[in-house]
Amino acid sequence: MSVLHTVNKSPFEKAAFESCLKHTGPGDAVLLIEDGVYAAVKGTAVADRIAGGNGAVSLYALGPDLAARGITESAVIETVKVVDYGGFVDLITEYDVSQAWL
């Protein structure tokens, strides 16, 4: 069983992102949405938490939420894949269960 985790809070405001990363297992995925997408940006105080991952967890960020916040794809950490709403749906179906870190 693999889990799709979603994080919709800013990593600077709430501990949801950090707690999520501590609760992922191999084969899981983390999808950053809404204010959660700020965690996907290069050069931030939390960027090491993503860049330091061992690749066992797949990382995604929702493109429309990045664009709304003025974050260009070139500002997103390379190991994070940007998906659109269709990709969001694909992830939901691809994983056995979803957990939303609200």
Partner 1 sequence: MSEQEQEFSGSDVQKKFLYLNRRAPYGTIYALESLEVVLIGAAFDQDVSLAFLDDGVYQLLKGQDTKAIGMKNFSPTYRALGDYEVTKLYVEKESLEERGLSIDDLMEITYEDEDDDWAEKPSIQLVNRSEFAAIMAAQDVILSF
Of the candidate residues 1, 22, 43, 102, the single one contacting partner 1 (CB under 8 A):
43
Category of 5 on φ-ψ map: left (φ > 0), alpha (ψ -120 to 50) or beta: beta
Under the criterion CB under 8 A, does residue 8 sit at the interface with partner 1? yes
- Minimum separation from the CB atom of position 61 to partner 1 (A): 13
Under the criterion CB under 8 A, does residue 75 sit at the interface with partner 1? yes
Under the criterion CB under 8 A, does residue 15 sit at the interface with partner 1? no
CA–CA gap between residue 102 and residue 94 (Å, rounded): 21
CA–CA gap between residue 38 and residue 28 (Å, rounded): 20
Under the criterion CB under 8 A, does residue 79 sit at the interface with partner 1? no
